[in-house]
Amino acid sequence: MIELRPDNYERIRPLLLGMDFHLVGRSILALKTPSRIFVDDPQEPHVLFAEVGHRYILAGDVSHEEFNHSVQRRFTDVILPDAQAEGLDGFALYYDSSAWEEKIDFLIQGKEIIHADREYYACKKLKHAPQDHFPDGFQLKLVNADLIAVPHLKHLDTLKEEMTSERPSAEDFLAKSFGVCAIQENELAGWCLSEYNVEGRCEIGIETISEYRQRGIATGLTLAFLEHAFANGITEVGWHCFKRNLPSARTALKAGFEKICDYKSFIVLLKE
The CATH number of the domain holding residue 168 is 3.40.630.30
Q: Do 52 and 183 belong to one domain?
A: no
pLDDT tens for each residue of 12-59 = 999 999 899 999 999 999 999 989 999 999 999 999 999 998 899 999
Domain that holds residue 45: 2-110
Same domain, 138 and 236: yes
Of 52, 82, 110, the last residue of a domain is: 110
In a domain, 151, yes or no: yes
pLDDT in tens, 129-148: 988 888 888 999 999 999 99
Q: How many beta carbons lie within 10 A of that of residue 127, not counting itself?
A: 12
Domain-embedded: residue 267: no
Query: 270 lies in a domain?
Result: no
Tens-digit pLDDT profile for residues 200-252: 999 999 999 999 988 889 999 999 999 999 999 999 999 999 999 999 999 99
Does the pLDDT at position 115 exceed 90?
yes
Q: Is residue 101 part of a domain?
A: yes
Which of the four pLDDT bands, split at 50, 70 and 90, describes residue 165?
confident
Alpha carbons 107 and 72: distance in angstroms, whole number? 4
Residue 192, classified by CB atoms within 10 Å of its CB into exposed (0-12), middle (13-18) or buried (19+), is buried
Residue 272 domain-assigned? no
Per the domain annotation, does 36 fall within a domain? yes
pLDDT, tens digit (0-9, with 9 covering 90-100), for 171-180: 999 999 999 9
**Phi, psi (rounded to 5 degrees) for 271:** -70, 135
Q: How many domains does the chain have?
A: 2
Asked which of 110, 141, 158 is the last residue of a domain, the reply is 110
Find the mean pLDDT for residues 176-194.
95
